[in-house]
Amino acid sequence: MATLRQLWDLQRAAYAVEAELIGFDGIPPLHETLQQLRDRTESFLGVFDDTGLVGAVSWARLPDGTLEICRLVVHPRAHRRGIATALLNDLDAMEPADVTVVSTGTANHPAQTLYRSRGFTPTSTRQIAQGVTITCLERKRDASPGEPPARES
């Protein structure tokens, strides 16, 4: 229960920052209850430091084998320490996938920069509220971090 509570506190702090960046506080995990988080079916991986849980990533396998990154959160006190990169590195090693997908607020420039540096490219944008969009990104296995994915001819 203690770890679950730390994860809940972590994601509330992290999504509050994203809400500020994108100008929208209706991000579903920001309003998720402790019970709703407990009931989630995705897998989680976390990073702890001497203050507790400072970062986490969750994922799910879609029926076609695609790996979906469901959430990637870093506590604001731990920003710019490489935690998100480390979590994504561990996820890539643990769960290799031909295709990996993720979505984030279009105006969340730090997240956009991180995913693009790892070979993700935008596939679509959808409006979630007036003036607020989410960008969906995808990476194919042949895309190495820092390199654009191979294009089909």
Domain count, the chain: 1
| Position with higher pLDDT, 121 vs 152 | 121
**What is d(CA 118, CA 107) in angstroms, rounded to the nearest whole number?**
18
Q: What angle do CA 79, 85, 88 make, to 5 degrees?
A: 130
pLDDT score of 27 more than 60: yes
* Within a domain: 49: yes
pLDDT, tens digit (0-9, with 9 covering 90-100), for 36-68: 999 999 999 999 999 999 999 999 999 999 999
Q: Looking at the DSSP assignment, which residues form a beta bridge with residue 104?
A: 135
Q: Are 137 and 101 in contact (CB under 8 A)?
A: yes
**What is d(CA 19, CA 86) in angstroms, rounded to the nearest whole number?**
23
* Within a domain: 105: yes
Q: Looking at the DSSP assignment, which residues form a beta bridge with residue 92?
A: none
* Within a domain: 150: no
* Within a domain: 153: no
Banded model confidence at residue 83, pLDDT cuts 50, 70, 90:
very high
Banded model confidence at residue 142, pLDDT cuts 50, 70, 90:
confident
pLDDT score of 152 more than 50: no
> 54 lies in which domain range?
2-140
Least confident span in 10-14, 70-74, 145-149: 145-149
Q: Looking at the DSSP assignment, which residues form a beta bridge with residue 105?
A: 134
* Within a domain: 84: yes
CATH number at residue 11: 3.40.630.30
* Within a domain: 109: yes
Q: Return the sign of the alpha-carbon dihedral for residues 144, 153, 113, 29.
A: negative
The arithmetic mean of pLDDT across residues 90-99, rounded, is 96
